[in-house]
Amino acid sequence: MKYILQFGIILLISFVGELLNRVIPLPIPASIYGMLILFTALCTGVLKLSHVRETGKFLIIIMPLMFIAPAVGLIESWEIMQEFIVAIIVISIVSTIAVIGAAGHITQLIIRFKGKEEKR
């Protein structure tokens, strides 16, 4: 029963993200809205981590299953993708390096900010 309640909370937040995606005319995916709502609720204490912890762990464990359908779609689209494979590889490498760099810089900023905050 606990898992059903926790999953319901996550689904409700995802649904609100879907509603925001329909209402706000920005090119932001509904899942991002949902993650921001969940993050804000957890940070502000509106939602306790214990309210979603077990289901969150379960969803992380089964996450690889979520990549099966897109992988099959890529395999089925191979004939179309062959023409652009070099561009796809270059874009994948460049975007991966950009994401790693941005994540590293943001992590360093957070560590510095927390270090300054602890010195106070």
Task: Give 41's pLDDT tier (boundaries 50, 70, 90).
Answer: very high
Distance from C-alpha of 18 to C-alpha of 71, rounded to nearest angstrom: 25
Identify the DSSP state of 26.
Answer: S
User: What does pTM read for this prediction?
Assistant: 0.65
Query: Rounded to whole angstroms, how far apart are CA atoms 25 and 27?
Result: 7
Domain boundaries of the chain, sorted by first residue: 1-61, 70-120
Taking the CA atoms of residue 47, residue 51, residue 53 and residue 56 in that order, the dihedral angle to the nearest 10 degrees is -80
Band the pLDDT of 9: cuts 50, 70, 90.
Answer: very high
Averaged pLDDT for residues 54-75: 92
Q: Residue 90: pLDDT above 80?
A: yes
Q: Given a cut of 90, is residue 44 above it in pLDDT? A: yes
Q: Is the pLDDT of residue 118 over 80?
A: no
| Percent of the chain predicted with pLDDT > 70 | 99
What are the start-end ranges of the E strands in the chain? none
User: What average pLDDT score do residues 58-68 get?
Assistant: 92
Residue 83 token pair: 């023409």
The rounded distance, in Å, linking the Cα atoms of 13 and 11 is 5
